[in-house]
């Protein structure tokens, strides 16, 4: 099989790339913006893996991803499967235009490129949080409306609809990972987003208050729901499913790649507190005006973009994913406390 990928120098994309190289004999065409970074990635591969990768300079924000007519003609009729992974994971309203340029326009450019290649199948990597303000996630399209928390979610909802609108040209499958974290076996992670952005903010805050000698006994409150859960999935679990999908995914299907038994926010914060050696943190359900100190206001301001996810639980149906992995070497996710601790501590050990 010949596979074309975007986003392969990113956290998930890099893990999928290695998975495909180690478990298949596929030839991989990889779109990259930073050729130096990509060449370093390829140089670190063992065996004949590097011979099966073809690097192409491009940019998903450009029409046809910035590929030349000659490059497109060379691949026309020769690409079996297209993985579109590249995305911008930012939630800020002031970045709306940039988020949509990458996530929505970039998806349209990738679809048009896949159409120009004449690919048979296109895999769009979305997010489980297209669920928006609903509490139950289904493996079906959500309506295009404003029932979302931020422009990132909105861009992904609209991109899913866009992707499936190309079904007359190619088989479309959509994959929705929840919060991607480190490798469940090694803890390896290089993500700067989601859980890691939250942990990094707590670390920065701890360092700031450490400069004051009289803060040792002060408790700092984070607003959130103790019993609500955060749906974390290890990057290797997501990559295993995406690699398996190359031979098992069905056209028109949506696959939630989620955690069936997610940890509570209280349990997660306890593990983060231990890893940071910052036992002065506590979660409170809400705060009346004037209840938080100036330092607590700063702390909660630093993590405000995560508030929508800290204050509620989401549950996800992943029946399609369960069917996909049935009878394979990929087991349905069981992420216990030991694995979660490994992932959190490995990040701070870097």
Contact 38, 10 (CB under 8 A): no
Q: What is the pLDDT of residues 72-87, one digit of tens each?
A: 999 999 999 999 999 9
pLDDT, averaged across the chain: 92
Q: How many Cα atoms sit within 13 Å of 329 on the Cβ side?
A: 4
Confidence of residue 128 (pLDDT cuts 50, 70, 90): very high
Percent of the chain with pLDDT over 90: 74
* pLDDT at position 191: 67
* pLDDT at position 99: 98
Of 30, 169, 150, 63, residue with least CA distance to 100: 150
* pLDDT at position 51: 83
The domains found in the chain, sorted by start residue, are 2-183+231-260+315-335 (3.40.50.720), 194-228+263-310 (no CATH)
- Cβ neighbours, 10 Å, residue 139: 17
Strands of the chain, DSSP E: 2-6, 27-32, 53-57, 81-84, 121-125, 136-137, 171-177, 179-181, 220-223, 229-230, 232-234, 254-257, 263-264, 281-284, 315-316
Q: What is the pLDDT of residues 180-234, one digit of tens each?
A: 999 999 998 876 778 888 999 999 999 888 887 676 788 999 999 989 999 999 9
* pLDDT at position 97: 98
Confidence of residue 47 (pLDDT cuts 50, 70, 90): low
Indicate whether 312 pLDDT > 90: no
Contact 146, 161 (CB under 8 A): no
What number is the average pLDDT over the span 263-280?
92
Confidence of residue 46 (pLDDT cuts 50, 70, 90): low
Distance between CA atoms of residues 170 and 163, nearest Å: 10
The encoded tokens of residue 240 equal: 């295993």
What number is the average pLDDT over the span 46-64?
88
């Amino acid at each position: 099989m010949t596979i074309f990928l975007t986003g392969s120098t990113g956290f998930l994309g890099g893990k999928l790339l290695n998975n495909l190289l180690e478990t298949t004999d596929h030839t991989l065409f990889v779109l990259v913006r930073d050729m130096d970074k990509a060449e370093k990635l390829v140089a670190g591969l063992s065996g004949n893996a590097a011979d099966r990768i073809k690097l192409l300079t491009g940019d998903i924000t450009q029409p046809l991803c910035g590929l030349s007519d000659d490059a497109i003609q060379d691949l026309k009729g020769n690409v079996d499967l297209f993985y579109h992974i590249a995305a911008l994971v930012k939630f800020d309203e002031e970045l709306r235009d940039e988020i949509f340029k990458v996530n929505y326009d970039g998806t349209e450019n990738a679809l048009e490129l896949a159409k120009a290649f004449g690919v048979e199948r296109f895999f769009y990597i979305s997010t489980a949080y297209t669920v928006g303000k609903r509490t139950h996630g289904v493996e079906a399209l959500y309506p295009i409306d404003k029932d979302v928390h931020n422009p990132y979610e909105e861009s992904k909802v609209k991109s899913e609809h866009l992707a499936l609108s190309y079904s007359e040209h190619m088989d479309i499958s959509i994959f929705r990972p929840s919060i991607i974290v480190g490798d469940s076996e090694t803890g390896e992670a290089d993500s700067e987003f989601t859980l890691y952005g939250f942990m990094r903010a707590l670390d920065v805050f701890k360092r700031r208050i450490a400069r004051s000698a009289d803060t040792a006994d002060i408790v700092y409150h984070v607003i959130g729901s103790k019993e609500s859960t955060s749906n974390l999935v290890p990057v290797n679990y997501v990559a295993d499913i995406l690699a398996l999908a190359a031979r098992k995914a069905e056209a028109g299907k949506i696959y939630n790649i989620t955690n069936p038994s997610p940890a509570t926010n209280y349990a997660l914060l306890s593990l983060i507190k231990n890893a940071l050696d910052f036992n002065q943190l506590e979660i409170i359900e809400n705060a009346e005006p004037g209840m938080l100190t100036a330092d607590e206001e700063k702390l909660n301001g630093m993590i405000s973009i995560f508030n929508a996810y800290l204050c509620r639980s989401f549950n996800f149906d992943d029946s399609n994913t369960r069917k996909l992995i049935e009878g394979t070497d990929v087991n349905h996710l069981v992420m216990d406390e030991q694995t979660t601790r490994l992932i959190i501590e490995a990040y701070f050990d870097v």
